[in-house]
Amino acid sequence: MKPTFNDSSIALVDRFYYKIVGLKKGDIIVATSPIDPKTQICKRILYLPGEVKQIENEFFTEHMRIPENHVWIEGDNKSNSFDSRNHGPLPMELIQGKIVYSLFPWKSLY
């Protein structure tokens, strides 16, 4: 899948209002990387706290409940994304904001 954002994208980030109305599946967030605190990441929320994620590989299938105050995030370009499939659920305290508009190229995301 083609990435929603690239290095030349310019986006408008909501850093406050999302805390009042909450996050939902499909939201694109900006967060501090759980691996490198100096790095920001931009990923899509696929699972919310309490939801069950089915994890499959060639050897087994298992179910994982997303812990409270965590979300499961994945990049839109799945073949080239370091995300929850690598580091597990993201603590919500690392979320810095929710992207509401792509200003370049223009795109409404809200």
Read off the pLDDT of residues 53-101 as tens digits, 9 standing for 90 and up.
998 888 889 999 999 999 999 998 888 999 999 999 999 999 999 998 8
* Size of the chain, expressed as the number of residues it contains: 110
- Fold annotation for 10-100: Umud Fragment, subunit A (2.10.109)
* d(C-alpha 68, C-alpha 75), whole Å: 21
Cis preceding linkage at 67, omega within 30: no
Q: What is the pTM of this model?
A: 0.85
If one counts every other C-beta atom within 10 angstroms of the C-beta of residue 100, the result is: 16
